[in-house]
Amino acid sequence: MTSDEHCPVILVGGSRGYNALSVARAFGRRGREVHLLLEARDESLAARSRFVRSTTFAPLGRDVAEAWTEWCIEFAPPGSVIIPCADRGLEFMARHRAVLVDAGLRPALARDDVVLAMLDKQRCYELARQMDIAVPRTESVTGKVQAVSVAMTFDLPFALKPRVSHLFAPYANGSSKAIVIRSYIELERQVDWLVDAGLSMIVTEIIPGPEHSYCSYYTYLDDEGRPLVHFTKRKLRQYPVGFGEGSYHLTDWAPDVAEMGLRFVSAIGLRGMANVEFKRDQRDGSLKLIECNARLTAANELVRRSGVDFAEIIYRGALGLPTDTASTYRVGIGMWMPMHDLLAFHELRRSRRLGTVTWLMSLCRPQVAAVLDARDPGPSWTKFTQLWRWARRWLT
């Protein structure tokens, strides 16, 4: 290895994310020094990993970006590669790239204007429509009167969704990405607190189709816009059901998902990491774009263990090193999140959309563990204590 291949790594954002843990372990096993910049003190899995050299939390009451910038200027190891692991980390890097470069750091490759556009759900949908890529019907709303007026033109149920997801996260219930509205009385109640919180929202139709209709395309585009790898997967289930984090992921190969995903990220000029999520509309089988993430996702360990190490590609791209990419990967590999999938199963069974035998049969395939690792027990113990507290609340 050259000295460049031992450069330290700074992972930004994703206090509760599985992706930061996956990346920290992969880099740590290669002998690279790993540092975390996190939003707040909570039960971060990655922070418990033996492969993490230091963890810095933004102090309570202080602007997160300001605290991270100060640490990068004063304490970051020179020449470190910076990789975002959450939307807040993406925004931080997009708005502070020049400062980070001046501090001698090497942020992951990206086009910052495109990254900021993808963080705004309404802007993402507008760009998709311009290139004739189907999206859910959405309307951006500000203020209670407009929100109620616009929402009345949507068929029930519909959803209220944040334009910028990470600003909604502190208010979200669990891992929910949206609020499902099933009655206009519920709409009045939800709009009140959303307006009071000052959150910019969109009203969106709910694309009909089961949970396994969600599918994703992953790639990495170099400086010239050339895709270095193609990868697809789908969710089998998620929690909360409808709008939530994946509780069971499965690798596959879907050519139409890859074609449409690549067409979208190429047309908008995205560079670096790209993940485009679609939902297949059960009314006509068409793909509808749901979101585009210019970062690693919660399923990173599944993607890596299936044969595509995007974190390594990002790292080498930031350093200008040659990249060997996998031309194939293993399909039919699952990644199961037990706590959330049990909740998803309970909800789906109660609504008679999933039977017990079908659920158990879906687990009978090769699996990748997102957290459990005998060589790095800290995160596993943290997750076990979380599961124990959850089980006690659920059973009482």
CATH of the domain at 200: 3.30.1490
- Name the residue range of residue 329's domain: 211-365
DSSP secondary structure of 117-153: HHHSHHHHHHHHHHTT-----EEEE-SHHHHHHHHTT
pLDDT tens digits for range 150-161: 999 999 999 998
Q: Average pLDDT for residues 335-359, to the nearest whole number?
A: 94
Structure tokens at 193: 């607190």
| Final residue in a domain of this structure, among 154, 181, 205 | 205
Residue 7: which of 315, 295, 309 has the closest Cα?
Answer: 315
Same domain, 147 and 270: no
Q: What is the pLDDT of residue 395?
A: 64
- Does residue 219 fall inside a structural domain? yes
Both 259 and 156 in one domain: the answer is no
55 and 172 inside one domain: no
217 & 189 share domain: no
User: What's the rounded Cα separation, in Å, for the pair 233 and 217?
Assistant: 7
* Domain tally, the chain: 3
Q: H/E element holding 65?
A: helix 64-74
Q: Side by side, which strands form the sheet with 214-221?
A: 287-293, 272-280, 214-221, 231-239, 245-252, 334-336, 367-368
**Which positions ≥6 away from 243 have C-beta within 8 Å?**
159, 161, 176, 177, 178, 180
Question: Residue 344 domain-assigned?
Answer: yes
Arithmetic mean of pLDDT, 161-174: 74
Domain assignment present for residue 396? The answer is: no
Judge if 260 and 336 occupy the same domain.
yes
CA distance linking residue 135 with residue 205, whole number of Å: 10
- Could you tell me if 194 and 248 lie in one domain? no
Pair (145, 97) in one structural domain = no
Give yes or no: residues 184 and 216 share one domain: no
Of the chain, the percentage scoring pLDDT greater than 90 comes to 73
In whole angstroms, give the CA distance from residue 324 to residue 345: 40
For the entire predicted model, the pTM comes to: 0.93
Cis peptide before 210 (omega within 30 of 0): no
Domain C-terminal end among 190, 205, 220:
205
- Tell me the mean pLDDT in the region 123-131: 97
Q: Are residues 220 and 353 in the same domain?
A: yes
Res. 40: pLDDT tops 80: no
- From residue 353, how far is each of 135, 342, 349, 359 by CA, in Å? 25, 14, 6, 10
Exposure of 308 by Cβ count < 10 A (0-12 exposed, 13-18 middle, 19+ buried)?
buried
pLDDT band for position 327 (cuts 50, 70, 90): confident
Q: Is residue 372 in some structural domain?
A: no
Domain for residue 131, yes or no? no
341 belongs to a structural domain: yes
Of the candidates 159, 334, 157, the residue with the CA atom closest to the CA atom of residue 248: 334
Considering the domain boundaries, does residue 391 fall inside one? no
- Among 316, 330, 358, 229, smallest CA distance to 27 is for 316
Judged against a pLDDT cut of 50, whether residue 234 lies above it is answered with yes
Asked if pLDDT for residue 2 goes beyond 70, the answer is no
Q: Is the pLDDT of residue 147 over 50?
A: yes
| Percent of the chain residues topping a pLDDT of 70 | 94
Joined tokens for residue 258: 């890859």
| 245 and 300 inside one domain | yes
CA dihedral 62, 70, 298, 238 (to 10 degrees): 10
More confident residue, 321 or 191: 321
The enclosing domain of 248 has a CATH number of 3.30.470.20
Predicted confidence at residue 41, as pLDDT, reads 67
Contact between 110 and 272 under an 8 Å Cβ cutoff? The reply is yes
Residues 130 and 353: their CA atoms lie apart, in Å, by 36
Query: Which domain-ending residue is among 188, 205, 222?
Result: 205
* Domain match, 244 and 350 both: yes
Q: What is the DSSP letter of 227?
A: B
The pLDDT assigned to 197 comes to 76
Does residue 393 belong to any structural domain of this protein? no
Mean pLDDT of the residues in the chain: 91
Does 45 share its domain with 147?
Answer: no
Strand 9-12 versus strand 81-84 pairing type: parallel
Question: What pLDDT score does 36 carry?
Answer: 96
DSSP string, 142-208: -SHHHHHHHHTTSPSSEEEEESSHHHHGGGSSTT-SSEEE-SHHHHHHHHHHHHHTT--EEEEE---
